[in-house]
Chain A
Amino acid sequence: GAGVSQTPSNKVTEKGKYVELRCDPISGHTALYWYRQSLGQGPEFLIYFQGTGAADDSGLPNDRFFAVRPEGSVSTLKIQRTERGDSAVYLCASSQLGAVTDTQYFGPGTRLTVL
């Protein structure tokens, strides 16, 4: 596609529920990143994939958060037992090769609200 797409655009769930957020990167981009942006803050890194493998998951806040990218393209961020503090905009970005000099292209984000 022309850009990074994310679905759903909005997700409202109840505390304790499980959610999945999807990211479709730019076609051909090998690197994929997830960030989280809370109100009034800048994006905060969660996890980075190079191909199918998670090259760096140091930003995941705890073991309720998990992400996969089984075929090296689409990625899913999974959050178990959601908490109100998980409410944020979840951003996905992709870059061509994952080099430090690559530009990261961002999607529109998924706004997650945990009631």
Chain B
Amino acid sequence: AQSVSQHNHHVILSEAASLELGCNYSYGGTVNLFWYVQYPGQHLQLLLKYFSGDPLVKGIKGFEAEFIKSKFSFNLRKPSVQWSDTAEYFCAVNAWRTGANNLFFGTGTRLTVIP
């Protein structure tokens, strides 16, 4: 079965600091990878996604993620965070099997950015 691990439960950064949130998944086959964000009081929104091709994916608001197949990882990065990036971040994966495109989510990482 697929599973997703996010090792950082709560990250606190000052504005302009660099961000890296870890995500590891367990599945040996072809996967699609996603990062979703949930701002306070809002619903889940897609930040970026990887299906194939260039393993470095750029998303909205200056976020990027790198797929490293050998490490089963899809870490999220941002060079300089802003106070408005305070949110909960979820990594998710779906696996290519017939009729199954539901997402498996990690437990989330809460990011607090201090002005």
Contact = CB atoms under 8 A, between A and B. Distances in A.
Interface of A: 3-4, 31, 33, 35, 40-45, 48, 55-56, 58-59, 91, 93, 98-109
A40 B32 CA distance: 24
B101 A106 contact: no
A44 B102 CA distance: 9
Contacts, number: 59
Nearest to A31: B101
Contact of B101 (A4, A42, A48, A105): A48
Given A100-B94, A100-B101, A43 B32 contact: no
A42 B108 contact: yes
Contacts of B74: none
Interface in B10-55: 32, 36, 42-46, 49, 51
Nearest to A6: B43
A98 B101 contact: yes
